[in-house]
Amino acid sequence: MVFQSQLKILISRDQIAEAVDRLAREINRDYQGKQPLLISVLQGSFVFMADLIRQLDLPLELDFVRLASYGAARESSGKVRVVQGVKTPVEGRDILVIEDIVDTGITICFLLDYLRKKKPASLKLCTLTDKPSRRSVPVPIDYLGFTVPNKFIVGYGLDFDEKFRNLPHICTLED
């Protein structure tokens, strides 16, 4: 059972909105004249994706992938599999992957390898948060919202056991 008192605001909704604005400006600038395919990693990145795309002035397309790695536990199992792959052809496209958090890096490395095999014209990563203290495989991040401390975070799409995705702020979940 998790109590409300275990939640502390780490990044407020206003700070998130500012970061989304900044990232959108960077992406708008870098993808001028292109038609990127944004790939959102379900489920955690759907809130971020929804806010970000409404600030993008580009003829973009969307797709979603669902990967499995985390269960109810707070630790990654280290095993990743594709539960739902991309539906849109990736070959020759400018792909921008949208993630909620890069933690050990195992999940995103697996996804980037999976997409690279499909021969995109370019492949970049935009993540709302980065927890570098726990990295076990190197991950090149092209667009970053926030570096976060080595704490479990929830809200703004991020969950603990499928809960708290609806919080407007990013909060730490204290023991």
x-or-dash string of contact with Mg ion, 71-110, rule CB under 5 A: -----------------------------x----------
Cβ–Cβ contacts within 10 Å for residue 158, how many? 23
The answer to whether 10 touches 148, Cβ cutoff 8 Å, is yes
Question: Interaction with ligand IMP in 109-168: which residues (CB under 6 A)?
Answer: 152-154, 158
Task: Give the span between the Cα atoms of 151 and 39, in whole angstroms.
Answer: 26
**What amino acid is encoded at 78 in this protein?**
G
**SS in 3 state form for 70-93?**
CCCCCCCCCCCEEEECCCCCCCCC
Q: Does the active-site annotation cover 159?
A: no
Stretch that binds ligand IMP, among 15-23, 57-65, 83-91, 98-106 (CB under 6 A): 98-106
What are the residues binding Mg ion (CB under 5 A)? Answer: 41, 44, 100
What are the residues binding ligand IMP (CB under 6 A)? Answer: 44, 69-70, 76, 99-108, 152-154, 158
